[in-house]
Amino acid sequence: MRSLGNRLDTVLSLVRAYGPFSLLSDVGSDHAFVAISAVQSGLAAAAVASDVREGPLEHGRENAKKLGVKVDFVLSDGLDALGAYRFDCVCICGMGGELIADILRRAGEKAFCRLLLQPMTAQDDLRKYLWENGFTIESETYVSERGKPYAVLSVIHTGKETRYSYADLFLGQFRPAGEEYARYAGKALSQAKKRRIGLLSRGEDPACEDGLIAEAEAALSAYRQ
């Protein structure tokens, strides 16, 4: 299978790890390479690529045609227009964490299957939504592409709420001592330092950011040892 770049290759490696699936959903598909590659490599028997805009959907259709892979294409805001499908894997990649959380909120039980989520921003909002709404993050895989760190979350609905700290929202709860995670924690650290300066300039208490900064620095020093 040809490379889709580190970020989407990681998503596909998780489809492989948890699959094979009978029906995979690629929400916000644009080029639709997640859906196309999953079907092409036999990781999913069938796939639906959906996008909220016709232009990206057409982009995906052209790619599927060029590669000779059968994928269904549906114009849909999140999973809203996909009620007729019974997915066993839903991939939502390359969108903001708040938007992913909103899509899951509206999806209800349609999201009660293997979820592979790759937020570009606001990972804290996404983790908060998941932990407070009965979703369990079973793994987080860290990867970088063109110097930017990403987390890919593998999630399942268990109905159980997860206790978490402020630092967990930004750093996750796994924190492996590898180079990829060190990059991810390094970015979280520099963002926390900026928020801390903002809090101080407004005369607000920076205690939450102080705790997060200490935990991010601990993760980085664990990697350096």
Ligand X SMILES: C[S@@+](CC[C@H](N)C(=O)[O-])C[C@H]1O[C@@H](n2cnc3c(N)ncnc32)[C@H](O)[C@@H]1O
* Among the residue ranges 47-55, 62-70, 108-116, 164-172, the one whose residues contact ligand X (CB under 6 A): 47-55
Residue 197 DSSP label: H
Strands in the chain per DSSP E: 21-27, 44-51, 72-75, 89-95, 114-119, 135-145, 148-157
Q: CA torsion sign, 35 to 36 to 40 to 46?
A: positive
d(CA 173, CA 75): 35
Question: In the set 93, 101, 104, 126, which binds ligand X (CB under 6 A)?
Answer: 93
Question: In the set 28, 97, 149, 172, which binds ligand X (CB under 6 A)?
Answer: 28
78 binds ligand X per the rule CB under 6 A:
yes
15 binds ligand X per the rule CB under 6 A:
no
Which of 60/216 has CB closer to ligand X? Answer: 60
Residue 70 DSSP label: -
105 binds ligand X per the rule CB under 6 A:
no
- What's the closest the beta carbon of residue 145 comes to ligand X, in angstroms? 10
27 binds ligand X per the rule CB under 6 A:
yes
Q: Find all residues with CB under 8 Å of 86, minimum gap 6, and list them.
A: 23
Taking the CB of residue 202, how many other CB atoms lie within 10 A of it? 7
* Among the residue ranges 89-97, 131-139, 177-185, 200-208, the one whose residues contact ligand X (CB under 6 A): 89-97
Which residues form the interface with ligand X (CB under 6 A)?
Answer: 8, 27-30, 51-53, 56, 77-78, 93-95, 99, 103
